Amino acid sequence: MPGLALLVWVPLVAVVATILGALGALIAELPPASLIEALAAPETRFAVGLSLRASLTALGLALLLGVPTAWLIARRRFRGKALVETVLDLPMVTPPLVAGIGLMLLLGHEAPAGRALSGLGVEILFSPAGVILAQTYIATSVIVRAARAAFGAVDRGYGDSAATLGVPPFWRFLLVEIPIAGRALMAAAVLGWARALGEFGATLMVAGATRLHTETLPMAVYLNMASGRIDIAIACALVLLALAFALLLALRLLSAEKPDPLHDEDPHARIAA
Amino acid sequence: MIEAAFSGRLGSFALDAAFRVPARGITALFGPSGCGKTTVLRGIAGLMRLPGGRLRVNEEVWQDGRRFVPPHRRAIGYVFQEASLFPHLSVQSNLTFGLRRHRGPAQIGLEEVVDLLGIAPLFDRPVPLLSGGERQRVAIGRALLSQPRLLLMDEPLSALDRMSKDEILPYLERLHASLSIPVIYISHDIAEVERLADTLVLMEAGRVRAQGPLAELLADPALPLIHMPEPAAVLEGAVIGTDPDYGLSEISVPGGSLVVPGNLGPLGMRRRVRVPASDVSLGRHAPADTTILNALPARIEGAEQTSDHQVTVRLRLGEDGHGAALLARVSRKSWDRLALRAGETVVARLKAVSLADPARDIAPSEPVPPP
């Protein structure tokens, strides 16, 4: 059926070629020596350091906030749940720039929340803390959604079993539901981390783009493209790409199918056993 | 005593079930799918808080009014339909999961349970590679090791194929024989109930239709059990003699004694036999020159026409009619020809008498070989 073959293969080739083309253009733009030099530049090193520190902190916070929230949504029924779920999904679908403006206004000195925080001596806007806040905001939304599906896939029977075996609710969550949802939760964390690393719009609004202060990797790409230091911009872009590639690989490994513990057994595994 | 009463509406389903059963032996909650058995069992476990519920197990009140003991504080073991072994733990960690959380001395030891259920060969196998029957055995062991004072089983065999069922039933019978923990067992399979249960709670559309000793309810004309396609009587008694030459044993049951094939164990051991109604014929006199081993005097209690051409006769063993209940399914023609009436004494001839619990003659310390 050449018609069908044409219909499905041509788009595939076009998409893959575009992706590889953009990637190749990025890599080919700089001679290797300049690339190494740009990678070693203090500004690049600063951006890598801040991005890793901020995104990992944001990931930790997002997990602390997102995993219990996801469990509650997956397991409990309460009044207004549908509304709460919609609100929780909102940051994921609003343009980050818009989310960022909202956060900026919320924490500005004009707003009660901002005044209260600055009364306590906490300054978040236009500081590295703002970077963490913006990244946490976006990552939490991603993690809530993915972790909710992860918990939803865990049969309630496990929690019930643990209850009848004398395990109180908090420990059921920790000893049974989290480990059983383990791989899916790790995948959720990887997705959240990826979103935090690449976060730009909300960070720009909340933390600003200040060289060597709130300069994450995406921010460094933006600032250096704007100021003409293309070598640094490309070095930072390539670091982001490498990290994204590593995360994708991790995700793929995590979601590689193990034999389903409840149902289908892998016949090959069985013979091996 | 276990006293349970649960009522309330769950969506469009109205539950109003109350029963009072002895806190020993196996009590079967029997009824068609959707009659509320599982809801009642989850209520007993505390996995579901039914608003209008009362529950007392021996001296402990687990639910009454505002009092509600959460499931993890109830000394129960629960075996689910689908064995919910934790996939992230080994067989051994699964087994000892509840044991490790038990405070105080353990009445039921790991070794005893491993022997009883023949689990030792499974220890090194990953949970996902266990068969359905093996999983269910481990799940039963895990429940027992949590040191329950009440064991709840929700159709533990229903998700298994015929072969796995036959693999597990002997273990359940051994459990019954060797442990003193009361069991509430849900089933919609009358054969399982006939094999295992001592007490029967018959449920129908969210209500308890009848409750009492199994043998009585099986022969109760007011209940649907007698109208099933293959009704049977279950008789229980002690072994009073064996004849190794002919390979026969004699069991004393209320109102008579039965000769049963096989060496059924030491004198005094209690065994259960099942007598299908279709294998019982009736006569006015003791038969002469017949191959039938069991011909017992019995008194007719009553008879129900089960179909156009069949009558199910309810009998009590013994001349005085005070013995065990027996059922006979005879053709309407013979019933009319003999002109039998309630209150008359007849001789019941039992063509087939089989053990309801064929595997219990295996010594409890030996593992049962897989079928």
Measured in angstroms, the CA of A228 and the nearest CA of chain B are apart by 53
The string of pLDDT tens digits covering residues B142-161 is 999 999 999 999 998 888 88
Work out the average pLDDT over B260-280: 88
Q: Give the C-alpha separation, A167 to B81, whole Å.
A: 20
Which one, of B1, B37, B34, lies nearest residue B201 by Cα? B37
Residues ≥6 apart with Cβ < 8 Å to A78: A84
Does B363 score more than 50 pLDDT? no
* Domain identity same for B62 and B173: yes
Work out the average pLDDT over A81-87: 95
The two beta strands, B354-355 and B150-154, are: unpaired
Domain boundary among B218, B239, B254: B218
Tell me, yes or no, whether A8 lies in a domain: no
Query: With an 8 Å Cβ cutoff, are B84 and A161 in contact?
Result: yes
DSSP letters spanning B276-326: EGGGEEEESS--SS-S-SEEEEEEEEEEEE-SSSEEEEEEEESTTS-S-EE
What CATH code is carried by the domain that includes residue B178?
3.40.50.300
Which one, of B355, B196, B200, lies nearest residue B274 by Cα? B355
pLDDT band at A43 (very low <50, low <70, confident <90, very high): very high
> A40 with A178: CB under 8 angstroms?
no
* Domain identity same for B92 and B24: yes
Tell me, yes or no, whether A106 lies in a domain: yes
The string of pLDDT tens digits covering residues A183-217 is 999 999 999 999 999 999 999 999 999 999 999 99
pLDDT of residue A258: 54
Measured in angstroms, the CA of A166 and the nearest CA of chain B are apart by 4
For CA atoms B259, B260, B266, B272, the dihedral sign is negative
Tell me, yes or no, whether A129 lies in a domain: yes
pLDDT of residue B226: 84
The number of residues making up chain A comes to 273
Measured in angstroms, the CA of A269 and the nearest CA of chain B are apart by 8
**Percentage of residues in chain B having pLDDT higher than 90:** 53
The range of the structural domain enclosing residue A170 comes to: 46-257
Tell me, yes or no, whether A76 lies in a domain: yes
Total domains present in chain A: 1
Total domains present in chain B: 2
Does A29 score more than 60 pLDDT? yes
What CATH code is carried by the domain that includes residue A232?
1.10.3720.10
Which one, of B215, B246, B195, lies nearest residue B325 by Cα? B215
Q: How far is CA A270 from CA A92, A264, B59, B93, B139, in A?
A: 42, 11, 48, 21, 21
The string of pLDDT tens digits covering residues B288-310 is 778 888 999 999 999 988 888 99
The range of the structural domain enclosing residue B208 comes to: 2-218
Does the beta carbon of A31 lie under 8 angstroms from any beta carbon of chain B?
Answer: no
Q: Is 0.95 surpassed by the pTM of this model?
A: no
Q: Chain B contacts of A155, Cβ < 8 Å?
A: 82, 84
pLDDT of residue A1: 63
> B315 with B298: CB under 8 angstroms?
yes
Task: Note the maximum CA span of chain B.
Answer: 69
ipTM surpassing 0.85: no
Q: Give the C-alpha separation, B160 to B136, whole Å.
A: 9
Which residues, in sequence order, are bridge partners of residue B61?
B56
What amino acid occupies position B38?
T
For Cα atoms A181, A183, A189, give the angle at the middle one, nearest 5 degrees.
100
Query: With an 8 Å Cβ cutoff, are A157 and B82 in contact?
Result: yes
Tell me, yes or no, whether A122 lies in a domain: yes
Tell me, yes or no, whether B368 lies in a domain: no
Residue B196, helix vs strand vs coil: helix
pLDDT of residue B358: 60
pLDDT band at B371 (very low <50, low <70, confident <90, very high): very low
What CATH code is carried by the domain that includes residue B318?
2.40.50.100
What amino acid occupies position B353?
V
